[in-house]
Chains A and B, each alone.
Chain A
Amino acid sequence: DIQMTQSPSSLSASVGDRVTITCRASQSISSSLNWYQQKRGKAPKVLIYGASILESGGPSRFSGSGSGADFTLTISSLQPEDFATYFCQQSYSFPYTFGQGTKLEIK
Chain B
Amino acid sequence: QVQLQESGPGLVKPSGTLSLTCAVSGGSIRSSNWWSWVRQSPGKGLEWIGEIYDGGATNYNPSLKSRVTISVDNSKNQFSLKLTSVTAADTAVYYCAKVGTSSWYVDHWGQGILVTVSS
Contacts and interface: CB of A to CB of B under 8 A. Distances in A.
A98 B109 contact: no
Interface in A62-107: 87, 89, 91, 94-101
Interface string B43-61: 0011110000000000101
For chain B, which range describes its interface: under 10, 10 to 19, 20 to 34, or 35 or more residues? 10 to 19
Given A43-B95, A43-B112, A95 B107 contact: no
Given A44-B46, A89-B46, A100-B45, A95 B63 contact: yes
A97 B106 contact: no
B62 interface: yes
Interface residues of A, number: 24
B107 A55 contact: yes
B47 A98 contact: yes
Contact of A97 (B48, B95, B105, B109): B48
B45 A91 contact: no
A49 B110 contact: no
Contact of B106 (A42, A46, A95, A100): A46
B61 to A, nearest CB: 4
A50 B100 CA distance: 11
Contacts of A100: 45
A98 B48 contact: yes
Contacts of A43: 95, 109-112
A34 B104 CA distance: 9
B31 interface: no
Given A36-B106, A91-B103, A96-B48, 10 more contacts: A34-B103, A34-B105, A43-B109, A43-B112, A44-B46, A89-B105, A94-B59, A94-B61, A97-B48, A98-B47
6 contacts: A34-B106, A44-B109, A87-B45, A91-B103, A98-B48, A101-B46
